[in-house]
Amino acid sequence: MAQEGLSRYSIDADWSELYVGGEWRAGASGETIDVEDPSTRTVVTEVPRGTEADVDAAYEAAEAAQDEWAATPPARREELVRNLLQLMDERSDEIVELLASEAGQMEGIGETSVQLATDQVAEAATYPRRMKGETAASNVPGKENVVEREPQGTVTVISPWNFPLNLSGRAVVPAVAAGNTVVLKPATNTPITGGLLFARLFEEAGFPDGVLNVVTGRGSDVGDAVASHDVSDVVAFTGSTPVGRRVAAAAGENLAEAAMELGGNNAHVVTADADLDQAVDAGVFGSFAHQGQVCISINRHIVHEDVYDEYVERLTERAENLPVGSAHDHVVIGPIIDESQRDQMLEYVEETVEAGATLETGGETAEVEGVDDSLVVKPTVLSDVTNDMSAACFEHFGPIAPVIPFSDVDEAVELANDTEYGLSGSVHAGDVGRGKRIAQRMETGMVHVNDQPINDEAHVPFSGTKASGTGGYNSDDFLDEVTEKKWISLQHEPREFPF
């Protein structure tokens, strides 16, 4: 229980209630889930272990609130979203601390999360005034065709643990701004920054009861109930492809719209005439930002054989000099979210070395003072890698940089495309034009020339191809996901029928 006088946005505050229908209430089971700080491996708070009964209550509240919320004038909806934006700015330091304690985000990454989230909220504030329809001429004499845009109804948001703040926010706030109500199920590891934090912010911003409802709990307990609920009109999910397939199938049973941002295996292509300084700089950031726990981080470095050795040497040197440790300290590499993620990525490294790759650096955990079983994995560089080795063919989701050689651009493109995924990527070539031509041949939803793959701007579409998802986020793409068009025809003159 939180101590009296603490901020409601502190990790030490009381987070032991769900938010349903504008009320803070205990979960139906009375059970809770521990929330662990991945840096210290200590339990920092607890949240309710939601049940199917809690899920049903959340959807009942969302459904009850939807008609009145959809009828709320756009100027009022915009005002409330801007209230939310102001609160996030005012509370940004506290939010960054929450992200460090719960998601293991270092200060710089936490600040980036807040910047991305506020950018998304600012974009969402424009949605109420973009709910515009159109007219169309008719082939029938005396008929007027009107197309109106309406909210879908109730939107389900299932968000991940790696960037819980902005990956929840990019779905929740636009959905609400467009006149929908929302049921939010955050990841088990990050139930506060991905869920209950939004409930407190929405409450303080003045949103009506039932517009946002938050149910925390284990996916194994309530995941199916959330994904398949018959009240849900849209399911917005961010996470792994295997889980995403199950969520999309469950949503499909109710013919709910599915917005899925799933896994990635992103290639960083470096040609022989690339600026190696820039390519290595981008490669270091793109592989090791937030310990590689980014769906759009570099999963494979695909480097021309003429510069391969130098690239590996320089990447290795940079990796060895990155500060590692607790997310509460001034480091670049912090903890992996939990043991299962850590153990899986280290297993990929081991399998890759056994298959013939060379471990240049890393491949093990780093000691953290006062922690018996550290979750911090040292930045890892692997050379002599082929596309079929575990660290390259799987989404390793860690601070791991497999480097694969190629002989010509055709081979580089073939290697980059030899994956079921198609989320993001990057190219460093001799000039922007040549880089763009390579980018156009890469089978991926986003490619960044003379940069690295970790880019996100709320006014630019964000989507993947192949097994990296369906639908899209940001800008008009997500507005289309959470709204539907209705054709209304007006027959102004008597119509003649053939019988």
In a 13 Å sphere around the CA of 18, the CA atoms on its Cβ side amount to 32
At residue 356 the predicted structure's pLDDT band, cuts being 50, 70 and 90, is: very high
Predicted local confidence at residue 6, as pLDDT? 80
- Would the pLDDT of 29 be above 80? yes
393 has catalytic annotation: no
At residue 1 the predicted structure's pLDDT band, cuts being 50, 70 and 90, is: very low
Order across the sheet with 257-261: list the strands.
23-25, 18-20, 212-214, 181-185, 154-158, 234-238, 257-261, 469-470
Query: Residues 102, 107, 257, 295: which is the catalytic one?
Result: 295
Over range 241-261, report the average pLDDT: 95
Share of the chain above pLDDT 90, in %: 98
Structure tokens at 18: 């769900």
Query: Residues 36, 97, 123, 261: which is the catalytic one?
Result: 261
Predicted local confidence at residue 430, as pLDDT? 86
Over range 428-442, report the average pLDDT: 96
Over range 146-156, report the average pLDDT: 97
Give the model confidence (pLDDT) of 341-352 as tens digits. 999 999 999 999
The sign of the CA dihedral 138, 144, 150, 153 is negative
Average pLDDT of the chain, as a whole number? 97
Distance, in Å, from the CA atom of 300 to the CA atom of 143, rounded to the nearest integer, reads 57
Over range 8-17, report the average pLDDT: 96
Share of the chain above pLDDT 70, in %: 99
Predicted local confidence at residue 13, as pLDDT? 96
Distance, in Å, from the CA atom of 283 to the CA atom of 265, rounded to the nearest integer, reads 14
At residue 2 the predicted structure's pLDDT band, cuts being 50, 70 and 90, is: very low
354 has catalytic annotation: no
- Please name each of the domains of the chain with its CATH number: 18-262 (3.40.605.10), 266-449 (3.40.309.10)
Give the model confidence (pLDDT) of 52-85 as tens digits. 999 999 999 999 999 999 999 999 999 999 999 9
Helix%, strand%, coil% for the chain, nearest 5:
40, 20, 40
